[in-house]
Amino acid sequence: MSRTQNQNDHGRVSAAELQAMGRAFELARRGPQGSNPQVGAVLLAPDGQPLAEGWHQGAGTAHAEVVALAAAQADGRNALGATAVVSLEPCNHTGRTGPCSQALVKAGVRRVVYAVADPNPSAAGGAEQLRQAGIEVVGDVLAAQGRQLLQAWLAGFQPVRPYVILKIAQSLDARVAAADGTSRWITGAAARVHAHGIRAEVDAIVVGIGTVLADNPALTARTADGALAARQPERIVVGRREVPASAAVRGTGGALMRLPTHDPAEVLDRLAARGHRQVLVEGGPTLASAFLQAGVVDELHCYLAPLLLGAGTSAVSNLGIATLAQAQRWQISSTHLLDPDLLLIANPLKEKSCLPE
């Protein structure tokens, strides 16, 4: 069984909590889209069994966590020591309803697991309030799915540029291709299925023209059985060379757009103008390094295969780093075992004070 470990906070995310998060997403979709986010919540008993659930039914109504707590009480069930699994960080805001963070504290909840941090300045801070009350908090669990669910609402809080996920599939010694250029397949089937799931969630997938010419990828999102997923990302090819007429990227799938530039900022400006909120960068060490050096990668997905190549193409090229003190620092938010590979999900570490002296 694969397990997800969140190293940003404490503890592990159990299989029961992952299942509950999936259920929270289902519940959230029952709520109306509008000025308020769609949010679902599931309460788990200390033994991991479902205790109660709820979802937000629109502006002015009780929030999902409060609905779930009320359902537990109405059923004669005690939430003391329970775990609350929520699709959005519990709010810390008193408006037409009270702060969910305080309701959870008052109920005696022991642990809170959420998918997406609340970007609303007037409501954010619930996770910190919970921690100060002694409650264990784990965030960014199934975050990509959570952002997909909330993308319409999140659009009002996101920066102008899209959220950027960089995908790298590499060997243990950080090679993305062998000395002869072969790269299929470094990772196994489970990792590829996971990566296709992410493709189906994002608005666009970005590669360099070098990758198109060398590997001829289709850049489609496919299901586990190989069929085209219902939702396909727009395919963006970056670089000044033309895309061949016979290229697989011109085949069935999302729309194709060629951007004759090597500037990540220009790429993201163009994608933002097209309404894209979340993009996946997949295309080769040169493009990956350009986005990393520009400082515009929000989330890194590193699929690590248990093999050694000893030579071949490195995962990233020159980042302009001359000494260890200049190294880019990343915070691993979760790990996923995708037999036989390991997926590391990380975010840029912006607070230097977190580093050991």
Which H helix or E strand runs over 204? strand 204-208
CA distance 104 to 80: 10
Annotate 3-14 with DSSP letters as a single string.
-EE--SSSSEE-
What is the C-alpha separation between 260 and 267, in angstroms, rounded? 9
Structural element, H or E, at residue 270: helix 264-273
Strand partners, 13: 4
Burial of 98 (0-12, 13-18, 19+ CB in 10 A): middle
Q: Classify residue 352 by its DSSP letter.
A: G
- Asked whether 334 and 6 are in contact (CB, 8 A), the reply is yes
- The SS3 call for residue 19 is helix
Residues 6 or more apart from 23 whose CB is under 8 A from it?
Answer: 40, 42, 50, 53, 85
Secondary structure (3-state) at 29: coil
| 65 flagged as catalytic | yes
The span from the CA of 176 to the CA of 180, in Å, is 11
Which of 17, 53, 65, 89 is the catalytic position? Answer: 65
Structure tokens at 243: 């895309």
Local structure of 208: helix, strand or coil: strand
Residue with tokens 């037409």: 96
Burial degree of 356 (CB within 10 A; 0-12, 13-18, 19+): exposed
Burial of 14 (0-12, 13-18, 19+ CB in 10 A): middle
Distance separating the N- and C-terminal Cα atoms of the chain: 37
Beta-strand ranges (E) seen in 25-162 are 40-44, 50-55, 83-88, 111-116, 136-138
Return the active site residues.
65
